[in-house]
């Protein structure tokens, strides 16, 4: 299958969050599966300069794209390279005025406010992408677009390109990673972005007194995919739909959810270079055998025996405690939080129940940044409980790895979580997550009831209601299981048995691509008949 993926970012060319990792990882897995993959991105020279050592040589294709934007004609070149470690082509839209900036979306010199010309920048990107695709020797079977920055591509294909008789057999797929960010602009941006060249698009883009690029993409794409099955249902409700629930309900038949995978080259306890001792599911399996009851004098073997996990994980726990300044106690449960410190991540629930929980013999390790109010509160909590709480207000990759390996539990009481990654990482590292049943968390964590622990299917702890009492009770239930060594060992083993590889995710995407292309071919067959009838009539 010939697949074009397009987005505003992809690792290593640009990354601001999870989107860049997802686009790159999916492209890599589709290439590995034998598909013909092309990735089309903006060229951010400042960002690419930071990773030149890992990117294959970048060369010009000789192509140029010239498009009207407002009262000007804007020209872009097209560069070519490859996605590192793959055969996948990467085409880079080179327009220095729009993309030669410090960051893809926000101006650091203005308190990280969105660039005022984002509508012009990404409308131009979408129009350039369509022109590049039209000039390809063979049209792709699928164009997979990600989030609002490329949501105009399906709109242009549906309302401009197909009526010309082009790309009739090419399906468009729109992936929604976060519905809260929609590409909303004032109506005057329609002309400013050069879209007045296509007056028929105005009705597609306008929603009330604004332009909404994501809504237009939802209406036009052949297939819509969210980043988890539960989120695909949630966004059709007023609570999670952010004003687009009606548009998504209309496309309900063409709406599906696929959970993201995990990059095993970066996140694997057996090979992780950041953690104190490597381990894998085989070590956990061996620890469940009677032979492990024989103890020696090693403090880590003793700690492992007490906690129901292999010695390597006990070593990781001791190293985490030492790094974060907490007393090195193998028997005390360590609860980790790796998160943006904002309300949508459920930090308010943690604030409400922390003092009560800290009366228990537990330790809390927090890594993240976010709202100043939560940062101040957590800092004060650590000052009041220095032997129990460690808070690092930063983004720190090595510490994140060490928390997933060394903590006993990972806490994620999110209000909203379209997909979630940390609950998957926690399971891979044998660190059961505590989550609220929402979005991707609901799809990826099986509650550790006695029945699920006994049959080996449990992968964490789940609560339903968004309130601090439900959160606290679930944490206490997890602590109770932690102190049951046999049950805990079985739970750790079952969490590490789950398959969160990108291979699984890519296979689901391909099935949805097949469905979209089949619908597209059926529709285009009817359109070909109409074109033939028109020519005969003439």
**Other Cβ atoms closer than 10 A to 334:** 25
SS (H, E, C) 337-380: EECCECHHHCHHHHHHHHHHHCCCCCEEEEECCECHHHHHHHHH
Task: Tell me how many degrees the CA angle 141-218-216 measures, rounded to the nearest 5.
Answer: 110
Three-class SS of residue 48? Answer: helix
Concatenate the DSSP letters of all residues of 451-511 into one string. Answer: HHHHHT---BEEE-SSSHHHHHHHHHHHHHHHTSHHHHHHHHHHHHT---BHHHHHHHHHH
d(CA 226, CA 358): 38
In the chain, DSSP finds a helix count (H) and a strand count (E) of 23, 20
Residue with tokens 């409700």: 237
Residue 413 buriedness (CB in 10 A; 0-12 / 13-18 / 19+) = buried
For the chain, the structural domain boundaries read: 2-39+123-261+505-537, 281-496
Q: Backbone phi, then psi, for 70, in 5-degree steps?
A: 65, -125
Cβ within 8 Å of residue 149, ≥6 positions away: 7, 8, 122, 125, 126, 183
Q: What CATH architecture does domain 2-39+123-261+505-537 belong to?
A: 3-Layer(aba) Sandwich (3.40)
Give the dihedral sign, CA 175/179/183/185. positive
Task: Please give the pLDDT value at position 306.
Answer: 52
d(CA 532, CA 335): 67
Q: Backbone phi, then psi, for 275, in 5-degree steps?
A: -100, 160
Residue with tokens 């699920």: 452
d(CA 276, CA 257): 36
Q: How far is CA 508 from CA 82, 229, 282, 366, 379, in A?
A: 24, 11, 28, 34, 43
d(CA 471, CA 126): 43
- With a pLDDT cut of 90, the percent of the chain lying above it is 81
Return the biggest CA–CA distance within the chain.
93
**Other Cβ atoms closer than 10 A to 271:** 12
SS (H, E, C) 60-74: EEEEEEEEEECCEEE
Per-residue confidence of the chain (538 residues) as pLDDT tens digits?
A: 999 999 999 999 998 888 999 999 999 999 999 999 999 999 999 999 998 899 999 999 999 999 999 889 999 999 999 999 999 999 999 999 999 999 999 987 887 899 999 999 999 999 999 999 999 999 999 999 999 999 999 999 999 999 999 999 999 999 999 999 999 999 999 998 889 888 888 888 988 889 999 999 999 999 999 999 999 999 999 999 999 999 999 999 999 999 999 988 889 999 999 999 999 887 776 655 443 333 344 555 545 545 556 789 999 999 999 999 999 999 999 999 999 999 999 999 999 999 999 999 999 999 999 999 999 999 999 999 999 999 999 989 999 999 999 999 999 999 999 999 999 999 999 999 999 999 999 999 999 999 999 999 999 999 999 999 999 999 999 999 999 999 999 999 999 999 999 999 999 999 999 999 998 888 776 665 555 555 445 4
179 in Cβ contact with 239 (< 8 Å): no
Distance of CA 187 to the CA centre of its chain: 30
261 in Cβ contact with 199 (< 8 Å): no
Concatenate the DSSP letters of all residues of 207-254 into one string. Answer: ETTEEEHHHHHHHH-SEEEESSHHHHHHTTSHHHHTT-HHHHHHTGGG
User: Could you tell me which of 134, 26, 132 has the C-alpha nearest to residue 512?
Assistant: 26
Task: Please give the pLDDT value at position 538.
Answer: 40
d(CA 378, CA 395): 16
- pLDDT tens digits along 32-72: 999 999 999 999 999 999 988 999 999 999 999 999 998 89
Size of the chain, expressed as the number of residues it contains:
538
User: Is domain 281-496 given the CATH code 2.60.120.260 in the classification?
Assistant: no
Cβ within 8 Å of residue 472, ≥6 positions away: 353, 356, 357
d(CA 237, CA 125): 31
Task: Please give the pLDDT value at position 325.
Answer: 97
Task: Please give the pLDDT value at position 526.
Answer: 62
Q: How far is CA 259 from CA 26, 241, 500, in A?
A: 11, 19, 9
User: Could you tell me which of 382, 398, 386 has the C-alpha nearest to residue 316?
Assistant: 398
276 in Cβ contact with 323 (< 8 Å): no
DSSP 195: G
93 in Cβ contact with 128 (< 8 Å): yes
d(CA 102, CA 112): 11
d(CA 507, CA 499): 13
Three-class SS of residue 395? Answer: coil
**Other Cβ atoms closer than 10 A to 249:** 13
């Amino acid at each position: 299958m010939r697949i074009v993926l397009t987005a505003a970012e992809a690792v290593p060319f640009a990354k601001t969050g999870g989107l860049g990792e997802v686009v790159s990882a999916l492209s890599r897995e589709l290439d590995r599966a034998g598909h013909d993959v092309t990735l089309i991105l903006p060229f951010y020279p400042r960002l690419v300069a930071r990773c030149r050592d890992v990117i294959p040589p970048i060369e010009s294709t000789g192509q140029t794209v010239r498009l009207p934007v407002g009262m000007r004609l804007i020209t872009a070149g097209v560069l070519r390279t490859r996605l590192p470690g793959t055969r996948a082509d990467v085409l880079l839209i080179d327009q220095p005025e729009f993309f030669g900036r410090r960051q893809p979306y926000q101006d650091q010199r203005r308190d990280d406010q969105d660039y005022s010309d984002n509508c012009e920048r990404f409308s131009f990107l979408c129009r350039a992408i369509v022109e590049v695709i039209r000039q390809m020797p063979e049209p792709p079977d699928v164009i997979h677009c990600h989030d609002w920055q490329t949501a105009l591509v399906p709109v242009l294909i549906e309302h401009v390109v197909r009526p010309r008789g082009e790309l009739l057999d090419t399906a468009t797929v729109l992936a929604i990673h976060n519905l809260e960010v929609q590409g909303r602009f004032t109506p005057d941006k329609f002309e400013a972005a050069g879209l007045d060249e296509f007056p028929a698009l105005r009705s597609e883009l306008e929603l009330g007194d604004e332009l909404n690029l994501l809504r237009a993409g939802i209406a036009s794409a052949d297939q819509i995919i969210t980043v988890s099955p539960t989120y695909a249902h949630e966004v059709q409700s007023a609570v999670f739909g952010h004003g687009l629930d009606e548009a998504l309900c209309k496309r309900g038949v063409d709406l599906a959810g696929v959970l993201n995978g995990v990059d095993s080259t970066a996140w694997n306890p057996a090979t992780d270079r950041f953690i104190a001792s490597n381990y894998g599911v085989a070590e956990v399996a061996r620890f469940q055998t009677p032979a492990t009851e024989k103890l020696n004098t090693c403090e880590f073997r003793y700690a492992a025996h007490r906690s129901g996990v292999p010695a390597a994980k006990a070593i990781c726990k001791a190293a985490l405690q030492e790094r974060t300044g907490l007393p090195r106690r193998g028997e005390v449960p360590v609860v980790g939080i790796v998160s943006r410190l904002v309300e949508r991540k459920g930090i308010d629930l943690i604030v409400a129940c922390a003092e009560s929980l800290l009366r228990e013999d537990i330790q809390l390790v927090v890594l993240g940044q976010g709202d100043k109010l939560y940062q101040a509160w957590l800092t004060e909590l650590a000052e009041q409980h220095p032997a129990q709480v460690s808070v690092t207000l930063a983004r720190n990759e090595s510490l994140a790895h060490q928390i997933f390996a060394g903590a006993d539990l990972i806490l994620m009481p999110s209000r909203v979580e379209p997909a979630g990654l940390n609950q998957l990482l926690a399971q891979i590292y044998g660190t059961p997550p505590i989550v609220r049943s929402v979005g991707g968390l609901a799809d990826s964590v099986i509650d550790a009831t006695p029945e699920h622990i006994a049959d080996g299917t449990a992968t964490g702890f789940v609560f339903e209601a968004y309130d601090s009492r439900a959160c606290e009770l679930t944490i206490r239930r997890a602590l109770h299981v932690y102190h049951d060594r046999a049950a805990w060992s079985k739970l750790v083993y079952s969490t590490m048995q789950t398959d969160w590889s990108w291979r699984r995710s890519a296979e689901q995407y391909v099935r949805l691509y097949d469905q979209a292309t089949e619908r597209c071919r059926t529709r285009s067959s009817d359109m070909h008949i109409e074109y033939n009838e028109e020519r005969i009539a003439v």
